[in-house]
């Protein structure tokens, strides 16, 4: 990030002194460095504020039937043949 900032500063100085040859290079470098520091400091709060304005993630839908989280078995027997300790019906 520091390298990119330095390259932007140097290219800004080169552009400004090429278009306006009577400008003081040292003063232009100071003003551009100050502007980059101020913009960099303002970017953090602005990006945080924009991130809070994002919509909330959608809530997952509820399961169709209740599941016992300890065993993974269905609580509504005989609809589920995975219930432990219970016989599997003939029709399942």
- If pLDDT is split at 50, 70 and 90, which confidence band does 21 have? confident
**pTM (whole model) above 0.85:** no
Instruction: State residue 66's pLDDT score.
Output: 64
Q: Cis (ω within 30 of 0) for the bond into 85? A: no
Mean pLDDT of the chain: 77
Q: Which of 9, 66, 13 is nearest to 40 (CA)?
A: 9
**How far is it, in rounded angstroms, from Cα 47 to Cα 41?**
11
Residue ranges of domains in the chain = 2-52
Top pLDDT among 84 and 29 is at: 29
89, pLDDT greater than 90: no
90, pLDDT greater than 70: no
Q: What is the pLDDT of residues 36-61, one digit of tens each?
A: 889 889 999 999 998 888 787 788 77
């Amino acid at each position: 990030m520091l390298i990119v900032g330095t390259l932007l500063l140097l290219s800004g100085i080169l552009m400004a002194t090429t278009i306006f040859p009577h400008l003081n290079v040292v003063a232009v470098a100071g003003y551009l460095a100050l502007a980059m520091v101020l913009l960099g400091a303002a970017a953090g709060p602005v990006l945080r504020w924009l991130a809070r304005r994002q919509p909330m993630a959608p809530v997952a839908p509820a399961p169709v039937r209740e599941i016992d989280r300890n065993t993974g078995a269905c609580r509504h027997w005989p609809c589920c043949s995975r219930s432990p300790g219970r016989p599997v019906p003939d029709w399942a």
